[in-house]
Structure 1
Amino acid sequence: MARYILNRIIGVIVVLFIVATVVFVIVRVTPGDPAAVMLGPDATAADIADLRIRLGLNQPIPVQYLYFMGGLLRGDLGQSIFLNEPVLTALGQRAEPTFFLTIFSILIACAIALPVGILSAYKRGSVFDQVVTTLAMLSASIPSFWLGLVFIEFFAVKLGWFPTSGYGGPGDSFLSRMHHLVQPAVTLGLVNSALIIRFVRASMLDVLGDDYVRTARSKGMGEARVVLKHALKNALIPILTVIGLTTALLISGAIVTETVFGLPGVGSLIVSAVTRRDYPVIQGALLVIAALYVLINFAIDMLYLVVDPRVSY
């Protein structure tokens, strides 16, 4: 087991190093002078030269790379040009809405997908199974921004149950801020539950016909115990994988939903950084999101050991 964990940790470090290198190269190979692109066409030559010095773009590429990697090791993602504050601080100030939106969305998606997917597999070929499969395919094809606008029109404008946008004021309570997240969380949860439903159904179908399931039934065990204890436990690895990937996708995919609902999260920060060509913020956000992808995958790998001890061998 120790060797398995060590191999995964080494893999995480290697992937993070590669991602950091790719992000560094992408920014440097952008057509034109990055400093001139950031400041726009109205910038003077002096302003461009000053920004090049501030960003270290006047140094040779190998020197820039060493400074870049050294800053990452110190936790320094650079300085935002337009916000005039460290990128890590800017991301941290806007992390709360994105964090809770991701957590609530994946909880809603799992609360829908797990029981529906298990029951659909158990009732394979029935009307319920066909309806679930059809609705899952339909949900996967619905754009989240369109569903969000429908929710705003119906639940916020017509019924007045939820705010149309925003995350509350600075003095609002925690429950008030969470109230603003109900609609976007349900939007993302419904859309992303479709993929999890299909994986849960497929994984359960793979194990429900195995010999050990038939043996458990022949011993007189109840159907609920056979399905939930024996079959589900052995189908968990692919299910955990898709839940982990969905969580990672929600972190980066919340950009559109945050924009629709006016949430001041990381997604909105990235959109504004792209609009204003604030490259340090874009670069830092890419690195953080990529790191979260890798760490979530690492956490899923560790869960494999709990679900199936044979993985360590």
Structure 2
Amino acid sequence: MIRYIVQRLIGMIVVMFLVVTIVFIIVRVTPGDPAAVMLGPDATPADIAALRSQLGLDQPLILQYVYYIGNLLKGDLGRSIFLNQPVLSALSDRAEPTFFLTLFSIIIACVVALPVGIYAAYRRGSLVDQVATALAMFAASIPSFWLGLLLIQFFAVRQGWFPVSGYGGPDAGFLDRMWHLCLPAIALGLVSSALILRFTRASMLDVLGDDYVRTARAKGLDERRVVLRHALKNALIPIITVIGLTMAVLISGAVVTETVFGLPGVGNLVVSAVLRRDYPVIQGALLVIAALYVLINFAIDMLYLLVDPRVRY
């Protein structure tokens, strides 16, 4: 067990190093000069060169990379070119909307997908199963931003039940800010529920026909207990895996949804940074997202031990 954890930690370090290197190279070779963007179209070449020197962008690429890695080892993600504040501070200021949007979305996805997937597998071939499978396929093909626009049009514009966009004013309370997250969370949660529903149904179908399930029924156990305690418990590993991966995808994939709903989250920050060629913010945000993705996968592997004692690493 200890050996496996050490191996995984070493693998995580290697993955993060590759992510840092690839992101650093990509943002540098992408067309666009942050100094020219900051100074505007009327800037002279001399002004642009002076600002590039001030920002350290005139240094050789390998030297910039060495400086960046050195700062990372000290826990410094750099300083935003446009926001004029540390990248870590900029990310933390915008972490709340993204965190709660991801949390509410995964809760909605699980509340919708798990019961429907379990019941569809239990009633395999029935009308309920066919409708659930069709709706899952349909939801998987819907872009979350398009569904978000439909929700805005109907529930916010026509009915007036929810805010159209934003995250509340500067003096908005916690409940008011959470109310602004309802529509984007529903949009992301419904789209994400499709994959969880299909995996839940498939995993339950694999175990409902096993010998121990038939034995439990032959002993006269209650059908609900057979399905939820015996079958579901042994089908949890694939379900946990897909829920964890969905959560990781939601953290990194809420960029478009945050832009549609005007949420001041990490996704919106990344979009602004890309348009402005704000290298430190792009690198810092992608590094944090990659770290969360790796940690979520590690946590999933650790949960396997709690769900199934037969799993040994």
Cα offset, 1:58, TM superposition: 3.4
Residues 195-204 or 61-70, more deviating: 61-70
Aligned length: 313
1:147–1:187 CA contact under 8 A, matched in 2? yes
Q: Match of 2:148, as an amino acid?
A: G
Cα offset, 1:275, TM superposition: 2.0
Q: Name the counterpart of 2:28.
A: 28
Per the alignment, in what secondary structure is the counterpart of residue 263 of structure 1?
coil
Q: Name the counterpart of 1:253.
A: 253
The equivalences for 1:69-84 within 5 A come to: 69-84=69-84
TM-score with structure 2 setting the length? 0.94
Q: Percent identity?
A: 77
Q: Name the counterpart of 2:222.
A: 222
Cα pair distance change 1:213/1:136, threshold 3 Å: same
Q: Name the counterpart of 1:168.
A: 168
Residues 100-109 or 75-84, more deviating: 75-84
Q: Match of 1:70, as an amino acid?
A: G
Q: Name the counterpart of 1:201.
A: 201
Which whole-Å deviations, capped at 9, do the CAs of 1:128-186 have from their partners, x for residues lacking one? 00000001111111121121111112111222111111111121111111111111111
Per the alignment, in what secondary structure is the counterpart of residue 310 of structure 2?
helix
Give the aligned CA root-mean-square deviation in angstroms. 1.9
Q: Name the counterpart of 1:62.
A: 62
1:157–1:164 CA contact under 8 A, matched in 2? yes
Measured in 1, the distance between the counterparts of 2:33 and 2:175 equals 47
TM-score with structure 1 setting the length? 0.94
Per the alignment, in what secondary structure is the counterpart of residue 311 of structure 1?
coil
Q: Match of 1:198, as an amino acid?
A: R
Measured in 2, the distance between the counterparts of 1:29 and 1:272 equals 18
1:4–1:312 CA contact under 8 A, matched in 2? no
Measured in 2, the distance between the counterparts of 1:302 and 1:46 equals 56
Cα offset, 1:48, TM superposition: 3.0
1:38–1:279 CA contact under 8 A, matched in 2? no
Measured in 1, the distance between the counterparts of 2:230 and 2:109 equals 23
Cα offset, 1:221, TM superposition: 1.5
Per the alignment, in what secondary structure is the counterpart of residue 312 of structure 1?
coil
Measured in 1, the distance between the counterparts of 2:38 and 2:169 equals 31
Q: Name the counterpart of 1:242.
A: 242
Measured in 2, the distance between the counterparts of 1:185 and 1:305 equals 31
Which whole-Å deviations, capped at 9, do the CAs of 1:88-107 have from their partners, x for residues lacking one? 11111111111100000000
Q: Name the counterpart of 1:96.
A: 96
Question: Which runs of 5 or more residues in structure 2 are unaligned?
Answer: none
Cα offset, 1:43, TM superposition: 3.6
Cα offset, 1:260, TM superposition: 1.4
